[in-house]
A and B are shown apart, each in its own frame.
Chain A
Amino acid sequence: MAATTAPAARKLPIAKAINESLRASMEADPKVLVMGEDVGKLGGVFRVTDGLQKDFGEERVIDTPLAESGIVGTAIGMALRGYRPVVEIQFDGFVFPAYDQIVTQLAKMHARALGKVKVPVVIRIPYAGGIGAVEHHSESPEVLFAHVAGLKCVSPSNSADAYWMLRQAIECDDPVIFFEPKRRYWDKGEVDPAAIPGPLHQAKVVKEGTALTLAAYGPMVKVCLEAAAAAEEEGNSLEVVDLRSISPIDFDTVQRSVEKTRRLVTVHEAPVFLGSGAEVAARLTERCFYHLEAPVLRVGGFHAPYPPARLEDEYLPGLDRVLDAVDRALAY
């Protein structure tokens, strides 16, 4: 990554950070392609790819037919030819026509070939709720992908991570599903293109604390930071771990945190049942059984379809739901 030509550090919204990340990746490697519905002339429905087609041309920023399986399937073919396609699925709920290609082909092709081919495809998915959208536009399907061997799944929570994690995902020789917290697209944070990023799949302690660990990723990191601030006023010091990666999960960082705080609450928008929080709870119970002062509690969505927009404020785990779980964990 050429730091010499990198622009100075700036405050950027997450959407713009992703745009800059794509731009830098395309400048660094002529094999990087962007493809998806409306990503070209329109610049994407969230304007994440704004201006890329103008600067890199239609051969590299490809407006595709409206066919998700076709987008991912042809991206696989282009990857086999030596390209590094970055695919945009317009919304979380629209990825399912491509699910077959992702699970049966993209995830398994490297193993099927006994390592003789690589399929470095990145699939960007704006995901999760909170924008008052209609059905299929607010879902959190990350564990449906994290459960599949051969895929890697990450989700940034801030602009700097959005920039760097996407650059790393594109450089990765494995398929990566890149979950973008769409309701945070406009949140600003500093991005330094000359920085040296940490490993893609490493979790980060984003706030230190002593009484309990909150483990979250993507859109819920902000909620957890707000909950930690509110708890602070009540005299409870919470640590917040941004997992950043859902496959693999950096259990070591969570373990170090829990060995210190002795309590853990996991938080995500996806339904609690068989969610990533369940995996974190199980692993941390194994690893920290004698450290834990309370069972690991989980906060997340319900086992119900994502509700209509007028109910999403109640459905989404907010500060109060997180603090309720914190109180219960602290009461043990």
Chain B
Amino acid sequence: MTVESTAAREEARRSGTGGKRAAASGEPSTSRSASPGGGKGRAAQGASNKQGAAKKKPAAKKAPAKSRKPAKASAAQPGGDEFVQLLTPEGERVHHPSYDVDLTDEELRGLYRDMVLTCRFDAEATSLQRQGELGLWASLLGQEAAQIGSGRALRTDDYVFPTYREHGVAWCRDVDPTLLLGMFRGVNNGGWDPNTNNFHLYTIVIGSQVLHATGYAMGVAKDGADSAVVAYFGDGASSQGDVAEAFTFASVYNAPVVFFCQNNQWAISEPTDRQTRVPIYRRADGFGFPGVRVDGNDVLACLAVTKAAVERARTGEGPMLIEAFTYRMGAHTTSDDPTRYRTDEEHASWEAKDPIARLRGYLEREGRADEAYFAAIEEESEAMGKHVREAIRTMPDPDTMAIFENVYADGHALVDEERAQFARYLSSFADAPAAGSTQGGH
């Protein structure tokens, strides 16, 4: 490892990309000044140890940079040409040479409505968790534009493989929102029919579904269909081997899959610079397909870039990676406490980029929606909240014997035997319900 010149480090800090040399070599590049919060991590400790060793052995190649902490490639304002934006945080419409959308007023209002209702549903779910109706909730707060923009770029015959946070995409796919709550309430592990809305079940193991999406896309290509498949994942998942393998398979088979990474800056408590030394979208280069970073809080930009990506997929041009640069405004899940690892200042800086406020600002400024419209959406969101609350409170617990259901499609002798044994056991209790019902078993 060589010590980088001050100029190179300064350039890396300014550009916020980690620096070209760092990207090419995978070596750390920045000084401590570029990352005032550094020095606490394992890597930083390793660096200081090495520093000590370097004093004894002053061989140039052993000398480390002052800190292994890379430039904050992801958190820095990537406002250069790598960042597709069509609507500024102030709600001003801007244009990009490669990506654009031309939407009617109705379509624009539709995007607003989607985001507001998704956000309301999400807030309702968070409240229901606080009230004990849900065991857990993974909020999408802050990611409405990334999800609605990408979700609205799809046709009904396209297929979506979500993580467990894609409530907005589910909304775009017309999945009944209350179905999403079952797994968080603990009555099932998913349970909707993925083929009804071409929206696969939520996947909890990080990154696994990206391979399923790729395989599904390989099947689409075999069928000669022109559908596209979208794999959703996050910045944390970008470290998973399955995601890298999915990139490889998609690339070598030219599969019609769009990799949609919502970089919300945080994988529970780990910032993106614990996952990558280069902006995530640039990973695509090494696999031989294009990667684009888009303003993930700009619903128009997310729509435009995703539309372009699915169009590529449809026309046999293969995969594309989209990095939607956004922010997880809430906790990782309702079990998480983000005050332990991130600052109020950071949170506030992203509040100023709110995806819903910026679209509303645009609609108001351009006179594309009036107060009556916003009031109507507000009313609709109230009604939705009421519907969700009622649905969750009347959601039945599963039958005890559901434990044994659907373990196999073609049956299995051991499951049959254990089901029968357990039913006998349950019915051995004096207060056992009548045969045929074991609801609320012991």
Contacts and interface: CB of A to CB of B under 8 A. Distances in A.
Given A75-B215, A77-B211, A114-B191, A104 B242 contact: no
Contacts of A59: 222
Interface of A: 59, 64-65, 67, 69-70, 72-83, 97, 100-101, 104-105, 108-118, 120, 149-150, 152, 172-174, 201, 247-250
A112 B205 CA distance: 13
B189 interface: yes
Interface string B182-206: 0000001111111100001101010
A56 to B, nearest CB: 12
A35 to B, nearest CB: 10
A112 B189 contact: yes
Which among B214, B215, B220, B409 has the highest number of chain A CB atoms within 10 Å?
B215
Interface stretch (B66-74, B168-176, B243-251, B307-315): B243-251
A74 B210 CA distance: 9
A201 B200 CA distance: 31
Interface residues of B, number: 44
Contacts of A117: 193-195
Contacts of A250: 413
Interface in B138-172: 161
Given A115-B406, A250-B413, A65 B252 contact: yes
B249 A78 contact: no
28 contacts: A65-B248, A67-B245, A69-B211, A69-B242, A69-B245, A70-B214, A72-B211, A73-B208, A73-B214, A74-B249, A76-B211, A78-B215, A78-B218, A80-B212, A81-B220, A83-B222, A100-B205, A100-B208, A108-B189, A113-B190, A117-B194, A117-B195, A149-B415, A150-B407, A173-B409, A173-B410, A174-B408, A174-B412
B308 to A, nearest CB: 23
A197 B192 CA distance: 37
Contacts of B220: 81
Contacts of B195: 116-117
Contacts of A116: 191-195
Interface string B24-61: 00000000000000000000000000000000000000
Contacts of A150: 407-408
Give 10 nearest A-B pairs by CB, closest first: A77-B215, A73-B211, A81-B219, A74-B215, A70-B245, A115-B406, A173-B409, A77-B216, A248-B413, A77-B212
A105 B205 contact: yes
Nearest to B418: A149
Nearest to A79: B215
Interface of B: 161, 188-195, 200-201, 203, 205, 208, 210-220, 222-223, 241-242, 245-246, 248-249, 252, 405-410, 412-415
B336 to A, nearest CB: 22
A116 to B, nearest CB: 4
Contacts of B205: 100, 104-105
A174 B407 CA distance: 9
Given A80-B216, A81-B220, A101-B208, A73 B408 contact: no
Contact of B212 (A105, A111, A118, A120): A105
Given A77-B217, A105-B208, 19 more contacts: A67-B248, A67-B249, A70-B211, A74-B214, A74-B246, A77-B213, A77-B214, A78-B215, A111-B406, A113-B192, A113-B201, A114-B405, A115-B405, A115-B406, A115-B409, A117-B195, A150-B408, A248-B414, A249-B414
A76 B215 contact: yes
Contacts of B201: 109, 112-113
B415 A201 contact: no
A113 B414 contact: no
A283 B211 CA distance: 39
Contact of B216 (A78, A111, A120): A78
